Amino acid sequence: MNARLQAAPDQVETRNTTCYMCACRCGIRVHLKKGEVRYIEGNPEHPLNQGVICAKGASGIMKQYSPARLTQPLRRKAGAERGAGEFEPISWDEAFGLMEERLRKIRATDPKKFALFTGRDQMQALTGLFARQFGTPNYAAHGGFCSVNMAAGMIYTIGGSFWEFGGPDLDRAKLFVMIGTAEDHHSNPLKIAISKFKRRGGRFISINPVRTGYSAIADEWIPIRPGTDGALLLALTHEIINTGLYDRGFLARYSDSGHLINQDPASAQYGMPVRAGVPPKGDNPDHHHDQLWWDRHSGRAVPNHAPDADPALFGDYRLDDGTPVKPVFQLLMERVGEYTPEWAEAITGIPARRIRGLAHEMGITARDQKIELPIAWTDSWGKEHNTVTGNPVAFHAMRGLAAHSNGFHTIRTLAILMSLLGTIDRPGGFRHKAPFPRAIPPVAKPPKGPEAVQPDTPLASLALGWPAGPDDLSVDAEGGPVRIDKAFSWEYPLAVHGMMHNVITNAWRGDPYRIDTLLIFMANMAWNSTMNTVEVRKMLNDRDEQGEYKIPFLIVCDAFQSEMTAFADLVLPDTTYLERHDVMSMLDRPISEFDGPVDSVRIPVVPPKGECKPFQEVLIELASRLKFPAFVTADGARKFRDYPDFIVNYQTEPGSGIGFLAGWRGRGGEKAMVGEPNPRQWEMYEKNNCVFHHVLPRSYQYMRNWNQGYHEWAQRTRVRRYTDPIVIQIYSEVLQKFRMAAQGRGESPRRPPAHLRERIATYCDPLPFYYAPLEVQATDTVRYPLAAVTQRPMAMYHSWDSQNAWLRQIHAHNYLFINVKTASALGVADDDWVWVESPHGRVRCMCRSSEAVEPGTVWTWNAIGKAQGAWHLSPDANESQRGFLLNHMISEELQTAGGARFSNSDPVTGQAGWYDVRVRVSKAGADEPAETSPQFAPVPAAPGTSKVRKLWQAFVAGKGDYK
């Protein structure tokens, strides 16, 4: 610092775009000095992050200029083994030629032999369209191994979920309960909200095996054993029902609590809601709303929401025809009867007294601190309300609940508990974000059978969807799976985000079939994104008797040299987020706020490095070359010049007016949500902070499951097709249909194969129940007593940043955290090398004792450990020598006693059970090397990555060293 201090900094150019170092997608301002990135700051005018930025976002410079950047298309050298990382550069022409030829052949013969799986689930509008147009069902993003239980469990119950779909309204909440949320979930918006909430004096309770990150600033930390959240939530439900702390008025009107369920075991409709048989006016043909209530006043069954009727929530009734029926709420009460706090204490480790107290806190806050907003609105049954009521208890939950094989039912319980408290889309509770809420289940359905896959023909539907019953499964006549990952099969009927974690194993084994080409975008399936890493790496490199690779052709698109790129036959160098156009589309998972839809764009602020090409451009180019119908004109000519052109001009149907972007539609940009393509749409976004925020009228901002005004708006703007109410499903009719199929009844002719009947009947329970995670059930927990879980640290949140010179100083390697008393009982001390062993594998690492972890749990930061040579790190870098993954100990499959193999996943949704593994810990021998195990042969730097190995660096923008 010197006298020049207060001189103005040199003139810099500033451009707005959208961050993509994680899935939050904050608005950023990028300052450029002589073409080099000088500074990346949060855009204060952006609704999502309001000017703040996280550690990763602020380190974007080091990502942009990382020496691990891939800069040219690479082909595996002839004769080189996969995984050895030996490549030769080729031109894009060659690369496209290769892909075009191969994909054209597959498409013309058997399109399902092409599989596209992406690590990014917020680009699905385009990647999903590509797969659909290709005609392959084998497509998904990473949701299956991330948090599909969270999406499915809540959407199948309340029509919305957390994160991009909805969230806690901390502006008005008084009590906030966060459960199973690592510090890497919904980063900046949640941080902003929690901070404001705490400053306003809100009470924040965190339920988590580990106290870090957000939990650190909770007013109270309730440690819980991993995988037992369902037991806690069921006990809370039990207590809330038994003390009458539920919001009866809300449940009666807005949920299925009063719906009568057929209780006649002899009836074909046993377990199904009884219906009037006369659909109400304006009904949704897919969702009939003619269930019956038992009217308390008249003492007889009436159509739901009959004028002046009030449903009985408890009781045991008989219809006029003698059919015994019970209201859903009665069934729920019966279900949770055995789930007492004392019962839960033994499972969760939380004292029963505390569970009761927690239930009382929730219930009393919801009941006694009501918010009344003077907002008039009309509900779906025509009743006019003068106010919107809020019960200010908010929740947030994420992968800690989801990544267990009992997660679906756990999360259903959470959604039910939130409903019991009357907090759905109400002030201070849970609030939806457009385009949510969706119908339960949403309308999109996966292909129904093998006949849906035809040569040279797009799929009639999207590859992913939301089954409403056995008819919607993707199964063949024998009940076998259609998809390579077996999603939507009887094994995992509601695998709505696919099951990326089983693709490689299944394709390698040829079960259900072999594929030809696997295209992986931005997913590290040879490392931290896969279970059973050691074996999966072998599978990727395994050959059949003819000497051909079991997965014949592997294309990987990534911006960096990762562990995965080493296994590719063809590597496509992606751009960074600063070098590309992108959309956060309403057709996808936009960045909407509670008050209305928000979508946004990314615009390139620096030119692509080397020959990097955005993956979107690759897809558009391939789609055009392969002449996908949506990408060519009737005479076969290319329709879209490039991705920006595609975004502006693509419409879901000719003339639909629905495109990827909702803002500035219409010829002159005068329309919102729906309208003709606007040739200047990108410009208008750019001028407006790259974001379009449509604030709904206040009367459409709440109660959107049942808000007539909102539904009409949503229909007008094509957000929804129908205007029917989205009634909370405490009792899941969808699950009951699957159960009935397993019991050999029900309307669907489809029946699960014999060996899956019991599984379906057990897990497709229409009411939530608790079971220990499947892996825990199958493990000798005396031998393997400790639960092992991971989370991402905030500074390395939601992606892999060991190539980032600043961030890797914060997390260069990782330790296994063990409760102080547990460590002392095991005789291990800080910095000791220990073996962590599960029934599936073992890892050597260093340990660190901690008072902030539940005694039965060990944990570590995920994805800090790296393979030698990957990410352009030296072979002796901390990441590979002292860093480690738990993945080596987690199997992607579980074997039943009968020898049947299943994915190590939730039996309903196929959600990967990352956090179910049980381990034991022992001190490593004194003679063992001081490095983590397993180790892998180092991979050489790929051609096109930096050749210079800097002993030190000092980044100064504008000097031209980094351009």
Categorise residue 532: left if φ over 0, alpha if ψ from -120 to 50, beta otherwise. Answer: left
Q: Looking at 105, 360, 509, 638, which residue binds other proteins (CB under 8 A)?
A: 360
Among the listed ranges 425-433, 542-550, 624-632, 948-956, the one in contact with other proteins (CB under 8 A) is 948-956
The residues in 216-235 that bind other proteins, with binding defined as CB under 8 A, are 216-217, 219-221, 223
Does position 785 interact with other proteins (CB under 8 A)? The reply is no
3-state secondary structure labels for all residues of 84-132: CCCEEECCHHHHHHHHHHHHHHHHHHCHHHEEEEECCCCCHHHHHHHHH
Q: Is 933 exposed, middle or buried (0-12, 13-18, 19+ CB in 10 A)?
A: middle
Binding mask 881-910 for other proteins (x = CB under 8 A): x-----------------------------
Q: Looking at 805, 885, 890, 942, which residue binds other proteins (CB under 8 A)?
A: 805
The residues in 160-189 that bind other proteins, with binding defined as CB under 8 A, are 175, 183, 187-188
Task: State both tokens at 63.
Answer: 């990502």
CB 359, min distance to other proteins, A: 10
Closest of 257, 220, 218, 263 to residue 237, by C-alpha? 257
The residues in 373-432 that bind other proteins, with binding defined as CB under 8 A, are none
Does position 293 interact with other proteins (CB under 8 A)? The reply is no
Q: Answer whether 181's CB lies under 8 Å from 396's CB.
A: yes
Give the nearer residue to other proteins in terms of CB position, either 8 or 897. Answer: 8
Q: Looking at 25, 38, 412, 694, which residue binds other proteins (CB under 8 A)?
A: 38
Give the nearer residue to other proteins in terms of CB position, either 4 or 281. Answer: 4
Does position 606 interact with other proteins (CB under 8 A)? The reply is no
Closest of 337, 290, 339, 298 to residue 317, by C-alpha? 298
Give the phi and the psi of residue 645 in degrees, each rounded to 5. -65, -40
Task: State both tokens at 212.
Answer: 């870090």
Give the nearer residue to other proteins in terms of CB position, either 1 or 782. Answer: 1
Q: Answer whether 142's CB lies under 8 Å from 115's CB.
A: no
Give the nearer residue to other proteins in terms of CB position, either 530 or 857. Answer: 857
The residues in 62-81 that bind other proteins, with binding defined as CB under 8 A, are 67
Categorise residue 13: left if φ over 0, alpha if ψ from -120 to 50, beta otherwise. Answer: beta
Task: State both tokens at 455.
Answer: 């040569």
Tell me whether strands 317-318 and 324-327 are parallel, antiparallel or unpaired: antiparallel
Does position 319 interact with other proteins (CB under 8 A)? The reply is no
Among the listed ranges 453-461, 559-567, 741-749, 876-884, the one in contact with other proteins (CB under 8 A) is 876-884
CB 217, min distance to other proteins, A: 6
Does position 944 interact with other proteins (CB under 8 A)? The reply is no
Among the listed ranges 119-127, 355-363, 491-499, 900-908, the one in contact with other proteins (CB under 8 A) is 355-363
Among the listed ranges 104-112, 215-223, 301-309, 402-410, the one in contact with other proteins (CB under 8 A) is 215-223
Q: What does each C-alpha distance from 10 to 32, 34, 39, 943 come to in angstroms?
A: 11, 10, 13, 36
Tell me whether strands 114-118 and 517-521 are parallel, antiparallel or unpaired: parallel
Say which DSSP state 853 is in. B
Q: Looking at 39, 513, 549, 835, which residue binds other proteins (CB under 8 A)?
A: 39
CB 622, min distance to other proteins, A: 34
Binding mask 905-934 for other proteins (x = CB under 8 A): ------------------------------
CB 209, min distance to other proteins, A: 11
Give the nearer residue to other proteins in terms of CB position, either 217 or 632. Answer: 217
Give the nearer residue to other proteins in terms of CB position, either 350 or 540. Answer: 350
Q: Is 750 exposed, middle or buried (0-12, 13-18, 19+ CB in 10 A)?
A: buried
Q: Looking at 815, 859, 915, 936, which residue binds other proteins (CB under 8 A)?
A: 815
Rounded-to-integer distance, Cα 496 and Cα 493, Å: 8
Rounded-to-integer distance, Cα 775 and Cα 915, Å: 10
Does position 13 interact with other proteins (CB under 8 A)? The reply is no
Concatenated DSSP letters of 858-915: EEEETT----TTGGG--TT-HHHHT---SGGG--SEEE-TTS-EEESB-TTT--B-GG
| Total residue count of the chain as it appears in this document | 963
Q: Which amino acid type is present at position 38?
A: R
Peptide bond just before 437 cis, omega within 30 deg: yes
Give the nearer residue to other proteins in terms of CB position, either 709 or 869. Answer: 869
Rounded-to-integer distance, Cα 352 and Cα 235, Å: 9
Does position 57 interact with other proteins (CB under 8 A)? The reply is yes
Q: Answer whether 338's CB lies under 8 Å from 237's CB.
A: no
Q: Looking at 404, 808, 844, 888, which residue binds other proteins (CB under 8 A)?
A: 808
Give the nearer residue to other proteins in terms of CB position, either 136 or 849. Answer: 849
Does position 951 interact with other proteins (CB under 8 A)? The reply is yes
Total residues contacting other proteins by CB under 8 A comes to 116
Concatenated DSSP letters of 731-793: S-HHHHHHHHHHTT-SS------HHHHHHHHHH--SS------HHHHHS-TTTS-EEEEEE--
Query: How far out from the chain centre does Cα 930 lie?
Result: 37
Q: Looking at 91, 195, 656, 896, which residue binds other proteins (CB under 8 A)?
A: 195
Does position 8 interact with other proteins (CB under 8 A)? The reply is yes
CB 109, min distance to other proteins, A: 45
Does position 821 interact with other proteins (CB under 8 A)? The reply is yes
Does position 33 interact with other proteins (CB under 8 A)? The reply is yes
In degrees, to the nearest 5, what angle opens at C-alpha 302 toward C-alphas 300 and 306? 130
Q: Looking at 202, 469, 709, 913, which residue binds other proteins (CB under 8 A)?
A: 202
CB 925, min distance to other proteins, A: 23
Task: State both tokens at 497.
Answer: 């985000």
Does position 857 interact with other proteins (CB under 8 A)? The reply is no
